[in-house]
Chain A
Amino acid sequence: AQSVAQPEDQVNVAEGNPLTVKCTYSVSGNPYLFWYVQYPNRGLQFLLKYITGDNLVKGSYGFEAEFNKSQTSFHLKKPSALVSDSALYFCAVRGPQGSSASKIIFGSGTRLSIRP
């Protein structure tokens, strides 16, 4: 069965500094990996995905994520954090289409707090 882990409940970063939100996964076969963001009292928004191709994927709001197959990781990054990036971030993994693991499973979430 697939699983995804976000080892940090909270990440605190000063505005203007780079940020990293960590994610590791476990799935049989090639993974589909996703990052979502949830602002307070708002729905879940899609940020970016890795399906195949370049290991570095770029998404919304200046975020990017690096797929590392050997380390089974998909960390979310941004070169310069903004206060408005403060939110709850979820990593998610899905197994190959048509497989028994083809549903998306979410990590526990990491609360990102950017201080001015």
Chain B
Amino acid sequence: SAVISQKPSRDICQRGTSLTIQCQVDSQVTMMFWYRQQPGQSLTLIATANQGSEATYESGFVIDKFPISRPNLTFSTLTVSNMSPEDSSIYLCSIVDSHLYEQYFGPGTRLTVT
């Protein structure tokens, strides 16, 4: 399976600031996803990011708040903008192996907003 890394692994940020999370994959993938997970809770899909096109956002998530870049087939970033304490969560990058139909996840970025 692909190896997915995320930076930073955790961060504590001030209200009103922005944080950019990086996701690096060791192989080329077409589809990448960004999820949010409260500790011990389920995963919520934020957006789907395909290389060469605009990200597709799920209901309740907007580009101004969560801008995503996908400059190539191995990398993506998610920015959490104008943060509030409600944005405190674990953010996970994910990819799909289109041959095996399996989805793999990065280790996550634990964000705390104070």
B102 touches A106 (CB 8 A): no
Name the A residues within 8 Å of B101 (CB-CB): 32, 49, 51, 94, 97
10 further interface pairs, Cβ-Cβ under 8 Å (given A42-B107, A43-B92, A103-B45): A36-B105, A43-B107, A44-B43, A92-B103, A97-B101, A104-B33, A104-B103, A108-B41, A109-B42, A111-B40
Q: What total of chain B residues lie within 8 Å of the partner, measured CB to CB?
A: 17
Tell me how far the C-beta of A77 lies from the nearest C-beta in chain B, rounded to whole angstroms. Answer: 20
Q: How many residues of A contact B (CB 8 A)?
A: 22
- B interface residues with partner A (beta carbon < 8 Å): 1, 33, 40-43, 45, 48, 92, 101-108
| 27 intermolecular pairs with C-beta atoms under 8 Å apart | A34-B103, A36-B105, A42-B107, A43-B105, A43-B106, A43-B107, A44-B92, A44-B105, A46-B1, A46-B102, A49-B101, A51-B101, A90-B43, A92-B103, A94-B103, A103-B33, A103-B45, A103-B48, A104-B33, A104-B103, A105-B45, A106-B43, A107-B42, A109-B40, A109-B41, A109-B42, A111-B40
